[in-house]
Copies of this chain bind each other. A is one copy, B any other.
Amino acid sequence: MVARVRRALPTRVSGELRVALGDDSAILRPKRGNEWAISTDALIEGMHFLPETHPPNAVGYKAIARATSDLGAMGARPRFFFLNLALPSRRTGRWLDGCLRGMARAARRYGLTLAGGDTSRSKAITLNLTVLGEIPLGLAVLRSGARTGDWIFATGKLGAAELGLEIMMRGLSRQAGWRKFLRAQLYPEPPVELGLWLAGNRLASAMMDLSDGLSTDLARLCSASGVGARISAVRMPVVGMSESIQRLGLQPIKLALHGGEDYQLLFTVPRGLTSRIPARRTGVQITRIGEIVPGRGVELATEDGRVVHVERRGWDHFARHR
């Protein structure tokens, strides 16, 4: 199984990666003046995906994309990854091949090289990723840097991945016009280059990726920074097709507030630098959604002019996929 993994994925020993696959550890040294951003991430059957619903290709792709998203959200350039793969016997054939193809596609797209890992058996499919990104010393953008008066931005359409999941779970995948939401769920595209640009130009005071839903993630950013946030419903980059969505019993604003797995960027910019933030960069939509305010927690200015407290209602491992 290990040999198949190595054949399927990009591997190359050179430069910062001195020793990789086949020894007890990999040996990695950042370029002079750089440091490593390191993040780990688990993708577990029944928890983060359903094998009967999510194609193996998408599971592999998404495992890499999710982990890479954490690097982009620091402003780090993705470089290496370690894969610990645990599979039931019945998944070691076509399922594994499909999964590895999706992984290889995402790895090439984001410039990641396999540096190590292992395979083993398990009752449930488990993909554990450790990713390393390189970042010039002192440029990493943390969650804790937001200050009162900073503007809050988000990339892409919020809630698209959640809508894609709803469509899949209801067996509506074949309906025209909903492909892009399926794609957002199965093949998310974290805007890593944008994260690098924001960090490299010191434009963002705080940054994180949107993995568990805006209501949860923005609350985390606020808590880390010791501030509050006020966001605006009319500004929110919600998904389109609102009539079809309402027929499903869903509301675009709720999807945007609480939908998980978008892997878009959430970042804050000091007021004096906001003129340098374009509405779109390298194909990625950037939307101002609100402002950092004193206090704590997240408030929403609704379409009818009220201001309501936003509860954390994003991704919860206890409640979902049961």
Which A residues are closer than 8 A to B by beta carbons? 18-19, 22-30, 35-42, 44-48, 69-71, 73-74, 76, 82, 84, 86, 115-118, 120-124, 126, 128, 130, 132-133, 135, 137, 140, 142-144, 207-209, 224, 317-318
The answer to whether B40 and A84 have CB atoms under 8 Å apart is yes
In the complex where A29-B36, A73-B24, A224-B22 touch, is A317 in contact with B42 (Cβ < 8 A)? no
A25 to B41, CA, bound (A): 10
Please, how many angstroms separate the alpha-carbon atoms of A22 and B42 in the complex?
A: 16
Closest to A26 in B: B38
In the assembled complex, the Cα of A118 lies from the Cα of B70 at a distance in Å of: 13
CB-CB nearest 4 A-B residue pairs: A29-B35, A25-B37, A25-B39, A128-B128
Task: Report yes or no: B23 in contact with A27, Cβ–Cβ below 8 A.
Answer: no
Tell whether, in the assembled complex, residue B82 and residue A38 are in contact, meaning their CB atoms are under 8 Å apart: yes
Q: A118 to chain B: which residues have CB within 8 Å? A: 40-42
Q: Interface on chain A toward B: helix, strand, loop, or mixed SS?
A: strand
Known contacts A24-B73, A38-B26; A124/B122 CB under 8 A:
yes
Complex CA gap A86/B40 in Å reads: 13
Bound together, the chains give a CA A48 to CA B119 distance in angstroms of 12
A121 contact set on B, CB distance < 8 A: 44, 47, 317-318
- A317 is contacted by which of B26, B120, B142 (Cβ under 8 Å)? B120
Closest to A195 in B: B24
Q: How far is the CB of A287 from chain B (nearest CB, A)?
A: 20
- CB of A115, distance to nearest CB on chain B (Å): 7
Give which listed residue, B26, B70, B117, contacts A24 with CB less than 8 A: B70
Query: A23 touching B86 by the CB < 8 A rule?
Result: no
Give the distance to chain B from A141, nearest Cβ to Cβ, in Å. 9
Q: Tell which of B30, B84, B115, B137 touches A38, judged by Cβ atoms closer than 8 Å.
A: B115
* B40 touching A117, Cβ below 8 Å: yes
Interface pairs (13), CB distance under 8 Å: A22-B224, A23-B143, A25-B38, A26-B38, A27-B38, A28-B35, A40-B116, A40-B118, A40-B130, A44-B120, A48-B120, A121-B317, A128-B128
CA–CA, A301 and B75, complex, Å: 57
Docked CA distance A177–B148 (Å): 67
A36: which B residues are within 8 A, CB to CB? 27-29, 36
A25-B39, A29-B36 known, 4 other contacts, Cβ within 8 Å: A27-B38, A42-B126, A84-B128, A123-B124
